[in-house]
Structure 1
Amino acid sequence: MTRYSVDLDQHQLVASWGTGEGDLSTRIAVLPDGADTSVLLALARSLTQLSAAAWRTYTHPASAADSLEPNSEGWRREKEREAFGEVPGAIAEPHLPHGGAMMVSYSALVESAHRVGRALHDLDDEALVKAVLAEAAFELAAVENAELGDLTSRAQQAVLLSREDASPVQVAAADRLLQQDPFGPAELFSAVDPTAAAVAAAHWLAAAAEVAAESSGEHPTQVVLEADNIESLPHETPTLVLGLIEDGATPHEAVTKLVRHAMHITDGLLLDPVALRDQLEDFEETVAEHTGEDDPDLDDVAVRLTPLDPKRPARDLLEDLLAGIHGCWLLHSDSGEDDEDDEDLGDAEDWDDEQAEEHQRRSHERFARLVRETAAANRDRLI
């Protein structure tokens, strides 16, 4: 979301937002002379709340809800997204206290706009009102652009957000980047929505796992776990995703399921308590088996509710999936299939740094070629 602040030295209202590569900021307006600092801070705080509410309609779209029936979660999300059109009016003519009472909107977005309007009413500056209305329109347009898969300008902040669904446009963009570099170019983290990037990465991980399985003799779902014996890897999540795909899930289904679950944990929700109960029972049996005790003490043992970082689940998943692709290359390289192609480099035990780097470059290129071929052969899995 965009964060708004008051520059006391320049007496300006400032907006800042993240881009995946760092933060950008811009001046929104010059603030009126003599204004009370608390009122200025109320304006900045309300604008930040407005941005947060607007971007929540992006990260929690109605399309990701189970139902759109009246009063369902999906229905509420639809109504909140439709409320974008009410924002300008709420800012220009906010609800004000009257007779010791004040109307409060059920919509977090609209109520934030009313708070912005009330702060502007207290400041009583026509030029500031115009500037804030233009800024609110620009912020809402950024959300709309992100929904369409256009992550340019202010909408680029979407690369830092986890979303319960994935834009087909963004999935296609991530797929093209992975086609160029199956190990994952830096642009995946600065130009693409992370949930969509993770969907594409899951498809490429499955392809990499097939290549590694063929060369190593391991099952495709176990290759990242086996590669962890060569180099320490975050193997749990890639192995879980490979298992879901092996069981018939599409990359989109596997990724959005994990991201959505982690986002619910972040929101303080546990949607499947029965599954948690089963997990705890299995966990207690595992601890009992490990300790040899029939009734082990679990007071000091923690259980993870999600394998992802709940503060940044989509980007965390993307990082793990790319690490899984690297692990597949490790296992493929360790199988020795590249040895015959590197005979011109001499005996591996006698390689200097330059020869070792050349071997690794060739190995990367050979593996990438095989993964591209496998990914192309299974493209219907991604689409």
Structure 2
Amino acid sequence: MTRYSVDLDRRELVASWGTGEGDLSRRIAALPDDADTSALLALARSLTQLSDAAWRTYTHPSSAAGSPEPDGEGWRREREREAFNQVHDAIAAPHLPHGGTMTVSYSPLVESAHRAGRALHGLHDPGGPGGEALAEAVRAEAALELAAVESAELGDLTGRAQQAVLLSREDASPVQVAAADHLLQQDPFGPTALFSAVDPTAAAVAAAHWLAAAAEVAADASGEDPTQVVLEADDIEALPHETPTLVLGLIQDGATPYEAVAALVRHAMHITDGLLLDPVALRDQLEDFEETVAEHTGEDHPDLDDVAVRLTPLDPKRPARDLLEDLLAGIHGCWLLHSAHDGPDEDDDRRDTGDRDDDERAAEHQRRSRERFARLVRETAAARSDRLI
């Protein structure tokens, strides 16, 4: 989301947002010299809250909430998204206290817009000198932020919408999945653009597809089960093998890469929101965990006071990007295992007769190994392209 702050030295309202490569900022408007700092901060805070509420409609789309029955979660999300068209008027004519009471909107987005309008009203007379200019700048800024969310929904992450690359989303845009797939075709190990130009959930969907292809290639070379290749590669180099192995297992059981990734990201996002949607599964997990600890300690009723259980294998603060990083590490692990069982070909032998030291030969062998592996993965991914979504 975009964060708004007050530059006290320049007396300016400033907006800043992340891009995946760093943060950008821009000046929104000049602020009145005689305004109290608390009043200025109230304006900045309300705009930050507005941005947070707007981007939540992107990260929590109604399409990911199941049935759109009235008063249900999907219905509520759809109503919040439709509230975009109320923001301008709420800032321009906010609810003000009247007779000791004040109307408060049920919509977090609309209420944050009313707060921004009240903050403007509290600074000075909006019709006074400079007042209308500040109010117009704030309304234009709100419109720009909402337009960025709309662009991100369409899969266009340029301009202000680029901040979507830092957010986890319960759904994945087909446009963004296709963009990530194109980047992985160029570099199956994962180019840096996956983290700066593509929605991380969509990038993880494409990466899951390419991981499954890489696992097939590694399994053919090593004789291992495709679902276990990353775990085997962990013996060669320390890897975050748990999540890639879980995703490979889900895909082998019939899930599409989209289904596997969306389920993991959605579950982690619910944990972040303080929700546990499947308490029965947690109870079963705890029972299995207690049995495992009992077997390990030899005690019938082990003390679990100092033992922690992870509710999600992903980082709940950044689940989609964490998953993407793990899946790309899994592809790297597949290459490690493939390389360990992939002997040099005749071209390698002929090239290695030159006058080069061992380090140069090792580096050249590794480069050719990665090229062979990437070629095989591209062929496998193309042959299984129907499972991408």
SS of equivalent residue, structure 1 residue 16: strand
Shift of the alpha carbon at 1:355? 1.5
Query: Residue in 1 aligned with 2:74?
Result: 74
Query: Residue in 2 aligned with 1:24?
Result: 24
Equivalent position to 1:247, from 243, 253, 262: 253
Shift of the alpha carbon at 1:346? 4.2
Code of the residue aligned with 2:108 in structure 1: it is A
Matches within 5 A, 1:208-219: 208-219=214-225
Code of the residue aligned with 2:112 in structure 1: it is S
Shift of the alpha carbon at 1:344? 2.8
Query: Residue in 2 aligned with 1:232?
Result: 238
Matches within 5 A, 1:250-329: 250-329=256-335
Code of the residue aligned with 2:172 in structure 1: it is A
Asked if residue 149 in structure 1 is aligned to residue 150 in structure 2, the reply is: no
Would the aligned equivalents of 1:345 and 1:355 in 2 still touch at CA under 8 Å?
Answer: no
Query: Residue in 2 aligned with 1:6?
Result: 6
Q: String of CA shifts for 1:218-271, please: whole Å, max 9, x gaps.
A: 000000000000000000000000000000000000000000000000000000
Q: Normalising by structure 1, what TM-score?
A: 0.98
Code of the residue aligned with 2:279 in structure 1: it is P
Shift of the alpha carbon at 1:67? 1.3
Shift of the alpha carbon at 1:290? 0.7
SS of equivalent residue, structure 1 residue 145: helix
SS of equivalent residue, structure 1 residue 6: strand
Range moving further from structure 2, 175-184 or 123-132: 123-132
Shift of the alpha carbon at 1:339? 5.2
Aligned-residue sequence identity (percent) comes to: 84
Shift of the alpha carbon at 1:342? 2.1
User: How far apart in 2 are the matches of 1:351 and 1:291?
Assistant: 52
User: How far apart in 1 are the matches of 2:228 and 2:199?
Assistant: 28
Q: Normalising by structure 2, what TM-score?
A: 0.97
Asked if residue 103 in structure 1 is aligned to residue 109 in structure 2, the reply is: no
User: How far apart in 2 are the matches of 1:45 and 1:216?
Assistant: 56
Equivalent position to 1:140, from 128, 146, 151: 146
Query: Residue in 2 aligned with 1:122?
Result: 122
User: How far apart in 1 are the matches of 2:100 and 2:287?
Assistant: 55
SS of equivalent residue, structure 2 residue 360: helix
Change over 3 Å in CA distance of 1:351–1:224 after alignment to 2: farther
Would the aligned equivalents of 1:53 and 1:109 in 2 still touch at CA under 8 Å?
Answer: yes
How many residue pairs match? The answer is 381
Shift of the alpha carbon at 1:341? 4.5
Would the aligned equivalents of 1:345 and 1:351 in 2 still touch at CA under 8 Å?
Answer: no
Across the aligned residues of Structure 1 and Structure 2, the Cα RMSD in angstroms comes to 1.0
Shift of the alpha carbon at 1:337? 3.3
Q: String of CA shifts for 1:197-228, please: whole Å, max 9, x gaps.
A: 00000000000000000000000000000000
Asked if residue 162 in structure 1 is aligned to residue 143 in structure 2, the reply is: no
Would the aligned equivalents of 1:202 and 1:255 in 2 still touch at CA under 8 Å?
Answer: yes
Code of the residue aligned with 2:21 in structure 1: it is E
Asked if residue 83 in structure 1 is aligned to residue 118 in structure 2, the reply is: no
User: How far apart in 2 are the matches of 1:5 and 1:344?
Assistant: 63
Equivalent position to 1:195, from 196, 201, 216: 201
SS of equivalent residue, structure 1 residue 17: strand
User: How far apart in 1 are the matches of 2:12 and 2:51?
Assistant: 19
Asked if residue 380 in structure 1 is aligned to residue 386 in structure 2, the reply is: yes
Gaps of 5+ in 1: none
SS of equivalent residue, structure 1 residue 26: strand
Matches within 5 A, 1:46-65: 46-65=46-65
Equivalent position to 1:338, from 329, 339, 344: 344
Q: String of CA shifts for 1:97-154, please: whole Å, max 9, x gaps.
A: 0000000000000000000000001123111000000000000000000000000000
User: How far apart in 2 are the matches of 1:172 and 1:264?
Assistant: 26
Would the aligned equivalents of 1:215 and 1:337 in 2 still touch at CA under 8 Å?
Answer: no
Which runs of structure 1 show a deviation greater than 6 angstroms over 4 or more consecutive aligned residues? none
SS of equivalent residue, structure 1 residue 173: helix
Code of the residue aligned with 2:74 in structure 1: it is G
User: How far apart in 2 are the matches of 1:62 and 1:341?
Assistant: 55
